[in-house]
Structure 1
Amino acid sequence: MLLLAFDTATPAVTVALHDDSAVLAGSTRVDARRQGELLAPGIADVLRAAGRTRSDVTAIAVGVGPGPYTGLRVGIVTALAMGDALGIPVYGVCTLDALAYAARRDGTVTGPFVAATDARRKEVYWARYDEAGARAQGPAVDRAGDLPEDVTKLPAVGAGAALYAGTFTDARAPEHPDAAALAAFAVRRLAAGEALSAPEPLYLRRPDAQVPAGYKAVTPDGPPPRA
């Protein structure tokens, strides 16, 4: 299997290529306003660095958030379009799970911990993980200050924890998800015969743009009667 992985659910536009045994190439750029501009070149750069082409890819894993609507849409639509064009499966991976996997892989945490990303509006997207790195709670979105102490006192990774270090008292790296970890997580789950998520976005909250309350549809009048 040659698995292409990428995630645009956070300010990090991250891409990696995994050949079922190791990561062949990877690229990460942090820019919250340019996911749409950076993803396609990032994919091309990673394939070029690995000496492969898109037709060599046999599966895609994409981060499904939680995250903002625009960023998620870039990654998931790209994954679905590529999967359809190449006739290959597309798998979804919770972005927080990929972040947690990276933290465990790098030895940042060893016991129970939390992964948290910035959800803006003084909120965080978060999930709690047990000592084995399995998700035990979440994903959810809440104001950082409203989270209970049994969550905020745990070691915490991610930009959400770093941003609200006064609430998360043991914030640690990494801040952003890494597609290399996302790819390794997906390959490990698939090899074990475990299911991955559908490539559908985890928004967790209502969109900012909504139809105003009391909206009344107006249809144009017909032509005036003839004299």
Structure 2
Amino acid sequence: MLLLAFDTATPAVTAAVYDTERRVTLAAADQVDARRHGELLLPTIDQVLRAAGVAKEQLGAVVVGVGPGPYTGLRVGLVTAVALGHALGIPVHGVCTLDGIAHAAREAGLTVPFTAATDARRKEVYWASYDASGERVDGPAVDRPADLADRIGDVPAVGAGAALYPEAFTRLQPGMPEHQSAAALAALAAERLAAGRELLPPTPLYLRRPDAEVPKNYKTVLPA
């Protein structure tokens, strides 16, 4: 089966086409631009489909990162995934974005318990902890880095969120992925599907309210 995977929950706009039978990534593209998710995602999807020599009608499923992530960026990927799945008549599977980063870290050689963290803005991080096999054991959650010492312990850390706060994530691992990789996300989804594990629905893991909200005590200008 051919999977199309993408994620917009981090500053990276990332997409990949993955062959589940051969367990190989046919094409992948990644761009880091936190302000252009909506502008870059569809061209990036088109780019990887063309590079893989795959027509969208050949796809067997869509895999999308469900966060946690900022409201605006995250919903770009989820809306696109649901729309593609509906148009093509194929299933849409969700995967926790932090799980994808953790899988990439494992593939890069990390074989001990660790924490993955991404930037949540507001001086906070989205984070999750993983055991030596890469299975999530805590999180996902959103917290201030200074409040995490008791929960994460003195373990290695990966991800852009950890890199932003070295005073809290004191064992940041060099050479590890900072942002999401759709290739890793697809490989993880394929692995779980092959094992008969149920994936997440394509619904967002926001973990907190959006930055933009309707003002309280809003005054109407319409006549009573």
- TM-score, normalised to structure 1, is 0.93
Q: Which residue of 180, 202, 206 maps to 1:203? A: 206
Alignment match, 2:172: 171
CA distance in 1, matches of 2:115, 2:219: 45
Matches within 5 A, 1:112-191: 112-149=113-150, 151=152, 153-172=154-173, 173-191=176-194
Report the 3-state secondary structure (helix = DSSP H, G, I; strand = E; otherwise coil) of the residue aligned with 1:91. strand
Structure 1 stretches of 5 or more lacking a match?
A: 222-227
Q: Cα deviations across residues 186-217 of structure 1 (Å, max 9, x unaligned)? A: 00111111011010011000122233334466
Amino acid at match of 1:60: V
Letter of the 1:138 partner, please give it. Answer: G
Q: Is contact 1:152–1:169 with CA below 8 Å preserved after alignment?
A: no
1:139: Cα distance to partner? 0.2
Q: Is the 8 A contact 1:152 1:167 kept in 2?
A: no
User: Residue 124 of structure 1 contacts residue 143 of structure 1 at CA under 8 Å; is this kept in 2?
Assistant: yes
Distance 1:216 1:112 in 2: 52
With over 3 angstroms needed to count, the CA separation of the structure-2 counterparts of 1:123 and 1:152, relative to structure 1, is farther
SS in 1 for 2:117: strand
Kept after mapping to 1: 8 A contact 2:149/2:168: no
Q: Distance in 2 between matches of 1:144 and 1:10?
A: 18
Q: State the Cα deviation string for residues 136-166 of structure 1 (Å, max 9, x = none).
A: 0000000111112451521001000111112
Partner Cα separation in structure 1 for residue 49 and residue 115 of structure 2: 33
The equivalent of 2:88 in structure 1 is 86
1:111 corresponds in structure 2 to: 112
Asked if the contact 1:129–1:135 (Cα under 8 Å) also holds between the matched residues in 2, the reply is yes
Kindly report structure 1 stretches of 4+ aligned residues shifted beyond 6 Å: none
Q: Is the CA contact (8 Å cut-off) linking 1:14 and 1:29 kept in structure 2?
A: yes
Which residue is equivalent to 2:68? 66
Query: Hey, what does 2:215 align to over in structure 1?
Result: 212
Distance 1:8 1:187 in 2: 19
| Paired residue type of 2:56 | R
For structure 2, the 5+ residue unaligned runs are none
CA drift of 1:110 comes to: 1.1
Deviation sequence 1:106-140 (CA, Å, 0-9, x none): 10x21110000000111000000011110000000
Question: Percent same amino acid among aligned pairs?
Answer: 65
Q: Supply the distance in 1 between the matched residues of 2:37 and 2:214 (Cα, whole angstroms).
A: 27
